[in-house]
Structures are given as structure tokens and as C-alpha cells.
Amino acid sequence: MRRMNNGSTNILEIENLTTTLRIPGGKVSVVEGISFNVKAGEKLVIVGESGSGKSMTINSILQMVPDSLIDSYKGIIKIDGENILEMSKRKFKDIRGKKISLVAQNAMTSLDPSYKIGKQVMEIYRHNHKKASKEEAKKETLILLDKMGIKNPEHVFHSYPHELSGGLRQRVVIAMALTGNPKLIIADEPTSALDPTLQLQILDLLNEINQKFGTSILMITHDFGVVSYFADRVIVMYAGEILEMGTVDEVINYPLHPYTKGLLKCIPDLSWLDKEDKIEKRKLSSISGEVPNLAKKLTGCRFAPRVSDIPEDYHESSPKMHKITDTHWVRCTCYQYYLKDSIAGLEGVK
Amino acid sequence: MTEPLLEVKNLTKIYGQKKNLLRSGNQVLAVNNVSFTVNKGETFGIVGESGSGKTTIGRMIMQLVNHTNGDILYKGQKYSEFTKESAERFKSKVQIIFQDSGSAFNPRKTIGSQIAYPLLKKIKDRKAVLDEVIKFIEMVGLSKEMAYRYPHELSGGQRQRAGIARALILKPELLVLDEPVSALDVSVKSQIINLLENLQKKYNLTYIFIAHNLDLVAYFCDRIAVMYHGEIKEVGSTKQIYQFPHNPITKKLLSSILTLDGRYKVSN
Amino acid sequence: MPLYLIKRMISMLYVLIGVTIIVFLMIHLIPGDTAQTLLGGEATKASLDALRHKMGLDQPLIIQYFIWIKQVITGNLGYSYSLHINISHLLFPRFLNTLVLTIASLLLSILIGVGLGFFSGLKKNTVIDKILSALSVFGASMPVFWIALMLMWLFAIQLRLLPVSGMYNLRGNGGFADLLMHLILPTIATSLVSIAVISQMTRNVVSDVVNKDYINYYQSFGLSHYQLNMKHILRNSLPPVINIIGLQVGYILGGALFSEIVFNWPGVGLAIYTAINSKDYPMIQAGVLFIALSFVLVNFVVDILNIVVNPKLRDSNK
Amino acid sequence: MYTNIRWRKFGKYLVKDKMASIGIAIIMVTIITAIFAPLLAPYNPNEASDTATRLAMPFTSGHILGTDSQGRDILSRLIYGSRTSILSATIPVIISGVISIILGIVAGFSKKIGGFIMRIMDVLFAFPSVLLAVVIAAILGPGLFNVCLAMVIVRIPYMTRVVYTDTVQEMQKEYIEAASAFGRTKFEIMFKELLPNVLPSLIVYATTLMGVTVVTIAGLSFIGLGIQPPTADWGLMASNGKNVLVQGDPYVTLFPGLAILILAVAFSMLGDWLRDLLDPTKK
């Protein structure tokens, strides 16, 4: 299969998306005013802690928030140029699986325990290819399982989900997501339930799919290690908002938002292992406080209550996204506090 | 200089029952002939993937699970030779912190009462117990109102702090930390790790840290045992293991660590 | 033969032994002397002893049990005091009549109960679900004998749409249509409680399955509702629903007792009722044994069905 | 302080759930009626009054609900009948509940004893519950006490299984391990840790069973194994009406049956409400 070259087209465009849920005694916006694109062939990772709204973002894109919970979606979600929020349910059904599909988080619970693997993959395959005969579907399924790096596809085909290891199950789930040759795969923490060595294998597999088929991947994770290993670009979410967005290099090496900085410092530093004995390991820093409860009305900068080292006047009352470079954006002007020194340095040169 | 606190010798655990007429043998060798020593004041890491037997070792040290073969010695005394008094003393000197703080507390009792009951067995004065409970709750960074809350009313991080308070209230010497932070968010995770570090210094605690994420182990532990399929593949100081791993399993585990600069580079 | 089949058969065997012991002891726990009851108050001691010896009542209890078991296995259920006939001659045809009523009731409760429950579970918390749930609370609390009487009064006595009682019209030709007409009211009365209970429990099972990850995941591929409901939700609700139905067989057997009494349906229940009134203990014993044995058999079938439809159970029983 | 919160939660739930308040009201009314039956009943329940006609229609000749085939006032008999109903519904269930919670927790806690206890229960499960009640009542002979005793035995396997399943489930949670790690004895784990966690669902189940028991005991009376005439009992009254029903008079059966149904539904509604009230995660 050929590698797609038109890197500039957007598979997914999200503009000003706000997702509101109904909760006992009111409404709550779990995603508020987020905008981002996923380009063709790109690997974009959304990183955030629990309650950041990252899961709700992908549930909004897939329209999978349960009817009993959803109050409204506002904004635009364009998949391949078409706004799905203005689309009929029937039409959106045709897009699911074919243009966009999901790799579920927990492969253990995401496969139907009552059917054999082959039957399940074939069912989705035949759903996406209505004209395919049973024999064709079986052939394609086996090919697909083989492509997923499954050593014995025949055996897996005839196995029940509980008979497989976690890694194999995750590969099956990825195969299901690929049955319709989608342009975009949304991966919901696909490796967080796996052991580190398996995590690496699955990430490599997704990388390979991205390389070979040119499939764009939108992944969510809570692990910056995964971000640095896998992503082209990264979005940092917190309390339903995007706080920072940029290429992996920009966000990891030049983080601007205090939250991003804090998160990065929470990751243990391993470089002391290579150094001389005398060099002490860097103390693990942490962010004080906890993620805010969205059910309570939040005003102003949602992260401000957890920052102590930035003077009040650097906080905006209602922070907006500020453009730093073409790709690097950050919410709130507090980043200027950190830039202060370097800016002063630059002015000195002038 | 180093004084062994806990010694594990040829420890073996077999789960399940023997094969008979109606039962196909479903015996599992969870831990196979494992030996190591934990020194006073150090943090000893046991790492391995799920199913490697690391959790079972923790449970056996706590006497929550009986071992099939081998010996565990606490301060030179064999578990199997504990008298009633030494067993009682041992119970207050070795404590555990569980992975899932959500199920480690009885959902129908207040946090405070659950922290209090190990102490209530020793001290009859309820007022003194309450003071002590409040002291420990505040020491782990919770407000004292939390004592009157039910477990589901606390966040995961808060519950894990409460778990630490419960483990510390009898002033133990050895704490078994069974993946204490793996269910927590990144920012909360480092809060708990920092708390554990501070408490270790304050009370001169010895930790056995059971984990599967090797980056945290590298940061937190002085010495490490790498487990695989019930066996210890390698034991050594953190630096030794991370810089000069010998066993292919160790190498494989290390090379799966994802750091901010990509994969961890293992020297051959 | 698969191992699980052998395992279940062994566990059924000990339940059977337990059941027969209880049923056997029943007659020995009843206050009063069997021989005395049979011969009446004026019997001489000699004639009582003679009868006791003849019936084996002077043997140790354990020997009596084995003698009784041997008789039961050979189809000899003893002799009725009140009707003066061989019990097995009376009870076997009666048992078939009870089977007709219970199977009809079971089919009705499965059809309506599972149907309504499945529908309610899919539409959880809608108005129609709430109405059905409220109705099922009433259905589940219904005294069977009372609703049987009320149905009889309304449809048979007031409206004269259906026969009052019995299995066949005495002056009719006794055809299948006649049987069906006689079957309607007892079946409804017997199955009403089970319909309600099955639908309540099926609803809970289905609404649980609807929230499973894999249903959500399948939904993300845009599968049609029909495909999801029929292929995945129904299939995965099946094992617990089969259990529920198995339990309900017990209630239906119990409920049939009352329906048979009210509608004069010539089944085992009616036989037990008549026997209770005439203190015909061997008859009660035999009737109870019949019903208990069939319930044990049903439970065995349910167990096996459960393993067959549940791949995980199948493996753990290998 | 805590009881205060509990009571507030209690009140809040009651106001919110209309069905539950109706259920509680019905049960309260039945209890009050049972206590003050002599004051409330317009006639002697067991004697036909001089002026009474037999099988009077409702609202005729001073009999609000009519009279039965012996000319006894149905309303008065219903009022007196509430006594046996409420007693026979609650007391056997409470007694078997206490027995079951001990059996169930011990069985769930210890595999060895558990296997033995649950095997005995399996045998009892082989009898449909109504049939088991019939057998026991037939052995013991009729009468209120014997019927209640039969109900105690019949309910034990069901309630024990509920406790047992819950206990086995709770045993797998880490707080049980934690309790033993922090020095709880076996007895304390069973009755201080497990008990508060398995009791709520048993209470809910027991409440629902009380409704079922009302119906079952009425059924036993109907067969002639329960409460004996001339005691005023709802099941017995409905049974007496059977003969006149064929003649076209449904009222003698209708009213006692309705009373049984309504009381049973009330217990069932109370059970549903308790399920929510006792859930610690709901505020």
C-alpha cells in the first residue's frame, strides 16, 4: 500500500467543541471550547490525567456519549470535511468503521465473550464490506490477523477471547479497527492495561500501521513516555480544556504552561543512573492539589488554584490560546513568567 | 553496616490442588525457589510483569498467604518458629499498603475507625487513640475531617494517603508497598512517592516496593530483584541492574522503559 | 462424555440421595403410628405388630430406607390408605397432566417474561419501562390461588367464555381444542407470578449487558440496533436468563399445585391436596417425590445448558 | 452526629420516592390495624350478628364489605386477619434471616464448612419452596406456630445463599486482606468486617421475602395446612369464598385476596426503597 503524501489535508477538524452532560441537579461541560486538527498520516496524542476530558473528547468525536448523559454538543466536528454534528445518524453510521474507527482501551472487556475471535472480526469486516462473501471475509480476516503480527492466525481465529493473552487480544482489537481501512484510528489508552514490554509491542504495531497504510492515529494517554515515543504532535488537556499544544519536541523540551512543566517534572529522571556516584538523583517534584471537580462552576484559569510560583498578574481572567510558533499554542499568558528571563536576555542583546 | 531485616530463603509457593479423578491438575507454581535479603533502612524493589509472582511474595511476607516451601526470617527468626508473642510483635512491625485503595478499605466504615482499629487492640483509652489517629491523618497530608468520611467520599490519592496512615499507626519497621501508586494519576503519583520518601527518613522505615513500572523503581529503590515466571532472574543495586544488566529478561524489561527521550538505552 | 457432565451427574446424585432421605423421613416424622392409623383405634396389639412386621416397620430406619428406595426404583410407590389403590397407577397419569399444565405455563412465562424483560432492559428508565416494572411488582406478589379464583369467576362464571374446571369437557369429544380451552385459565394463573419475576430479572440482566464495554465497542463500528440486540445483547444475556428460568420452574411447580386445586385439574398437585385432607401420607410422600425429582432433573438440564452456552464455564470445567 | 446524617438521608429518600412512602404507609396502617383491631372492627369477627344476612353485598345492611356465607362481617374479619398476616410475614423471615446470616457468612468465610453447609442447602433447593412448606406443614400439623416454623425452614436456603454469594464476593476484596494484615481475628473479620457489608442486601431481600411469605402462608391456609378456622385469616377467608364464588358471589374472596396482594406489594416497594437507601455510594 502506498504512503499518503498529502500531509496537509485534515482528516479531523474540531472547532470550538463543547460537550455538555446532564448530571443530577444541573449540567456540566466536560469538554469546553477545544479546537484541533488531525492531519493525514499524523500521530496526534492527547495527554491528560483522569477528569481532563480526554476520553470525553474522543467519545464526542465518535458520538458515543450515552443518550441518558448527553445534553448537547456545540461546535464543529469535521471528519474528512463533513461536519458529523449536522449529519443524519444513518450517514454517520457509514462513516464509523470506514473513515474513522476506535481501538478500545480494554481489550479484555471490549470483545464479546460469547463468540470466537474469527466470528467477531468477520462480523465487523462484513459490516464494512457489505458485498463480501463469507469466504472472502474469512480470508481477509486471516490476512489481517497475520498483519497484526499474530503468529498463528488460524488458531486465534478459532479461539474465544478469554483464551488469549492480553497482548493478543489488543492485536485483535486493532485488527477489528482496521477492517474498514479507516483514514483515522482513535486509540483510547490502548496500552495502559498492558505490561511495559507488551506496551512497546503494541505501540510499535500502531507505528507500523501508520507507516504502512498512512492511517492517521489520534491516541489518548496519561503517560508522557508514550507521548515521546509515539507522537508527532501532542495536546495537553486539563479539566476539559486544551492547555498546550505543539510538536513533541516543543512540548517536551520547551513546555510553557505551568501544568505541562509540572507533569513533566513528575516523571522520574533516570539520567543519574549513567552518572558518577557523587551525583544525586533529582528529587521527584509534584503538583500540589487535585484535579478540580467539574460539577462545580469553574471560572478563570482552571489550573490557577494549583500554581503557587506565578504572580497573580500573570494569570488571565479568561485565558485564551496564545500562538507561540505555527505549531505551538498555549492557554493563559502565565507562560510569559517563565519566558521573562529569556526575553530579558534577548532585550539585553538589543 | 548493613543489617539484614528480612531474609527470604528458597521460598516456593504452589497454588491450586493436586490432580485427582475429577480434577485435571491445575497447580500453578507461582513462586519458585526465591531467595533474597532486605537490609534495614533500604528500599528493596521487586519488579516483574503481571503473573511473575511478585505480589504473591509480598503476601507471603505479610503472612496473608502461606508458603509451600522454604523459609522467611524476620530479624533472624523463622516465620515457622514464631511463638504467640513474637507473632503478635511481628504483626505490628510489618505492614502493607495495597494497590487498589478503593477496595482496601471497608466501604461501610469511616476512614478514621479503620485507621484506629489496629491501635484499639493495644490501647484501650479511646481518646488517646483518636488523638493518635488525627496525628497520623494530618501527617500524611489529609485534613482531620477525613477521619469521619467514608472511603468512597475520598479521591484515590486521598485514600492512598489514608492507607499509609493506617499502615504507620503501629509504628512498623517494614512496609510492603504493593504497587501503591500504579492506579493513581501522574501528579498524584509523585505526591505519594514523595510522602513515602519523607516518611522513610522520619521513621527509619524499610520498604519492599513491588511494581511493574521500572522508571519509578529506578528512582525509588536502592536494590532491585527482577522476577519472571516465579523466579528471581537478577538481584543487585539499582545502578548495577540498570547500567549493567546481565539477564536477557532484565534487558528486555529495561529496554521497554519509555522516557522523555524515547526508549531507555540498555548497555550490552 | 465431557468431564463437566460427569461432575454434574455426581452432584445430582447426592442431591437425589438427600431428597429421597427427606421424603422418606417425612412419613416417619409424622406424629402417630402408621399401623394404628391403618387399622383404626380398636386394633389389638398382636394385629398391630403383625402389620408392622409385614410393612417392615420393625426394621431399623436405614434398612427401611433401602427397602423403600428399592421399591421406588422399581416403580412401586406404595398403597394409598384412602383410595385403596396402588399409588403409582394413580400418580403416573396424573403426573402427565401436571406436565401438560407446567410446560404450558413455562412456555408462556418464558415467551412473555423474557420478551417483556428484554424490551424493558433495552428501554431502561423510559415511561414504558416504568409502567412494566410497576405492573411486574403486582404480578410478582400475586397469590396464585386467588388470581385463579378471580379469573375463574370473571371468564368462566360471569362471561362464560371458558370452562370452569377440569381437563376435558365431560360431554365433549375430548379433543385437543377442548384441552386447550381448559388449559387457558390454569396456565395464566400459574404463570403470572413467573412472568413478572422473569421479566424483572431479565430486565436487570439485559440492562447490565447493554452497559458492557463490548456492546459500546461494537456500537462504535456503527452496527445496527437489530444486529446488536439480537446477536450480542441477547446472546450474552442468555446464561443468567437460563438460570432465572430454571429457578422459576420451581415456582411454577408450586403454583401449579394451587391452580390444580382451584380448577380441579387432575394433576399431582390435586392428588396431594386430596391426600392432605384425608391424611393419606404415602400419597403425599409419593406426590412430593414426583415433583422434587422432576425439579432436580430440570436443575440438571439448566446446569448443563448453562455450560453449553457459556464458553468460559465450558473451559473451567474441562 | 452520624445518625443525624443517616436520618436526613432517610427523610430525603422518603420524600423523593413516592412509591416507598405509599408502601411504608400501607405497612404502618396494617400494623396499627392489627394492634387496635378490637377498637376498629365494627362487629365480632367470629360471630354472625343478629341482624346479619348471609352473603350480604358490600354497602348493604351496615356491612361495608358485605358478609360471608356464615353471615360474619367481612370488614371485621379483614381487620382481625391483619394480625396473623403481619405476624406470620415478619417473624419467620426475621428468624430465618438471623440464622441465614450466620450460616452464610461462615460458609462464605471457610471453604470447608461452606462446602458442607451449601450441600445441605442444595438438597433443600431441590424442593420448590411451596412444596417444601406443604411437606413441613403436613408433618408438623396445622396452626399458626407450625406454619411459621415451616416458613423459617423454607426461607433459610434462599437467604443463606444470598448471604453466601455476597460473602464470597466480599472475601475477594482487599479490605478483608487488609483487616487480617492489621490484626483482625477471624471472628472479627466475619462479624465486624463482612457483616456490615452483606447485611444490607439481606435486609432488602428479607423485606421482599416478607411479601412473598404473606402470599405463601395464605396459600397454605387455602390448602388447609395453615391457620385453622374459625380464626380470621386472609388466606382462610379467600379459601372460604371459593364455594360461593361458583354461585356468582366474588366478594367473599375478592377482599381478602386484595388485602394479601396489597400488603405483599407494599413489602416489595419497601424493599426496593431500602436497596437505594442502604447503598453507601448513593447520597
Residues C151, C275 within the same domain: yes
- Tabulate helix, strand, coil % of chain D (nearest 5): 75, 0, 25
- Record: contact C138-D265, CB cut-off 8 A: yes
Report the C-alpha gap between D122 and C296 in whole angstroms. Answer: 10
- Tell me whether residue D88 is in a domain: yes
Which other chains touch chain C, taking contact as 3+ CB pairs less than 8 Å apart? A, B, D
Report the C-alpha gap between A244 and A45 in whole angstroms. Answer: 12
Which B residues, 1 through 30, put their C-beta within 8 Å of a C-beta on chain C? 22, 24
- Record: contact B118-D183, CB cut-off 8 A: yes
Predicted TM-score (pTM) of the model is: 0.87
The nearest CA of chain A is from the CA of C237 a distance in Å of 10
Residues C49, C114 within the same domain: no
- Tell me whether residue D282 is in a domain: no
Count up the domains in chain C and report the number: 2
Residues C129, C231 within the same domain: yes
Helix (H) / strand (E) containing B124: none
B202 to chain A, any CB pair closer than 8 A? The answer is no
- Tell me whether residue D145 is in a domain: yes
- Tell me whether residue D217 is in a domain: yes
Residues C65, C26 within the same domain: yes
Residues C81, C110 within the same domain: no
Comparing alpha-carbon positions, the chain D residue that sits nearest to B105 is D175
- Record: contact B92-D183, CB cut-off 8 A: yes
Report the C-alpha gap between A55 and A62 in whole angstroms. Answer: 11
The one-character DSSP state at A314 is G
The parent domain of residue D16 ranges over 2-277
pLDDT in tens, A218-268: 999 998 999 999 999 999 999 899 999 999 999 999 888 888 988 888 888
Stretch D221-235: mean pLDDT: 84
- pLDDT at residue A318, rounded to an integer: 72
End of a domain among C86, C105, C133?
C86
- pLDDT at residue A202, rounded to an integer: 93
pLDDT in tens, D198-227: 999 999 999 999 999 999 999 998 888 888
* Nine-digit cell string for C203: 430486565
C140 to chain D, any CB pair closer than 8 A? The answer is yes
Residues C73, C115 within the same domain: no
Report the CATH number that the domain containing residue D226 is assigned in CATH: 1.10.3720.10
Flag whether pLDDT at B69 surpasses 80: yes
- Record: contact A195-B214, CB cut-off 8 A: no
How high is the mean pLDDT of chain B? 88
- pLDDT at residue A170, rounded to an integer: 93
Q: Is there a contact between B4 and B39 (Cβ–Cβ < 8 Å)?
A: yes
Stretch B45-71: mean pLDDT: 91
Helix (H) / strand (E) containing A115: none
- pLDDT at residue D187, rounded to an integer: 92
Residues C118, C155 within the same domain: yes
ipTM of this predicted structure: 0.86
- Record: contact B157-A199, CB cut-off 8 A: no
- Tell me whether residue D283 is in a domain: no
End of a domain among C68, C86, C104?
C86
Report the C-alpha gap between A90 and A87 in whole angstroms. Answer: 8
Report the C-alpha gap between B166 and B98 in whole angstroms. Answer: 11
Alpha helix ranges (H) inside A214-334: 224-230, 248-253, 258-265
Q: Is there a contact between D140 and C30 (Cβ–Cβ < 8 Å)?
A: no
The nearest CA of chain C is from the CA of B16 a distance in Å of 13
- Tell me whether residue D265 is in a domain: yes
**B19, B20, B22, B26, best to mutate vs chain C, most C CBs in 10 Å:** B22
Residues C146, C55 within the same domain: no
- pLDDT at residue D3, rounded to an integer: 41
Helix (H, G, I), strand (E, B) or coil at D86: helix
Residues C32, C60 within the same domain: yes
Category of C200 on φ-ψ map: left (φ > 0), alpha (ψ -120 to 50) or beta: alpha
The nearest CA of chain B is from the CA of C211 a distance in Å of 22
Q: Is there a contact between A4 and A52 (Cβ–Cβ < 8 Å)?
A: no
Taking contacts as CB-CB distances below 8 angstroms, the residues of chain B near A196 are 49, 212-214, 253, 256-258
- Record: contact D130-C255, CB cut-off 8 A: yes
Flag whether pLDDT at D283 surpasses 60: no
- Tell me whether residue D172 is in a domain: yes
C311 to chain A, any CB pair closer than 8 A? The answer is yes
Per-residue b or e along B223-261, where b marks 16 or more CB atoms closer than 10 Å to that residue's CB: bbbbbbebbbbbbbebbebbeebeeebbbbbbbbbbbbe
- Record: contact D178-B95, CB cut-off 8 A: no
B257 to chain A, any CB pair closer than 8 A? The answer is yes
- Record: contact C29-D139, CB cut-off 8 A: yes
Helix (H) / strand (E) containing A298: none
pLDDT in tens, B206-254: 999 999 888 889 889 999 999 999 999 999 998 889 888 999 999 999 9
The parent domain of residue C203 ranges over 94-316
A71 to chain C, any CB pair closer than 8 A? The answer is no
Residues C259, C306 within the same domain: yes
End of a domain among C86, C103, C127?
C86
CA B186 to chain centroid, in Å, comes to: 20
In chain D, pLDDT over 90 holds for what percent of residues? 33
pLDDT in tens, D150-208: 999 999 999 999 999 999 999 999 899 999 888 888 999 999 999 999 999 999 999 99
Worst-scoring range by mean pLDDT, A263-272, A280-289, C145-154, C299-308? A280-289
Residues in chain A where the model's pLDDT stays below 50: 1-7, 345-350
Residues C30, C101 within the same domain: no
**B179, B243, B257, B260, best to mutate vs chain A, most A CBs in 10 Å:** B260
Per-residue b or e along D147-165, where b marks 16 or more CB atoms closer than 10 Å to that residue's CB: bbbbbbbbbbbbbbbbbbe
- Record: contact B22-C6, CB cut-off 8 A: yes
Distances, alpha carbon C203 to alpha carbons B129, C113, C120, D211, D254, in Å: 49, 9, 6, 21, 31
Report the C-alpha gap between B205 and B203 in whole angstroms. Answer: 5
Report the CATH number that the domain containing residue C104 is assigned in CATH: 1.10.3720.10
- pLDDT at residue A257, rounded to an integer: 87
Taking contacts as CB-CB distances below 8 angstroms, the residues of chain D near B96 are 178, 181
How many Cβ pairs closer than 8 A exist between chain A and C?
A: 71
Flag whether pLDDT at D116 surpasses 50: yes
Residues C9, C123 within the same domain: no
Count up the domains in chain D and report the number: 1
Worst-scoring range by mean pLDDT, C181-185, D107-111, D279-283? D279-283
The residue among D65, D75, D23 whose CA lies nearest residue D44 is D75
Stretch B85-95: mean pLDDT: 86
Which other chains touch chain D, taking contact as 3+ CB pairs less than 8 Å apart? B, C
* D172 burial via Cβ count (<10 Å: 0-12, 13-18, 19+): exposed
The nearest CA of chain B is from the CA of A29 a distance in Å of 21
Model confidence at C1, in pLDDT bands (50, 70, 90)? low
- Tell me whether residue D134 is in a domain: yes
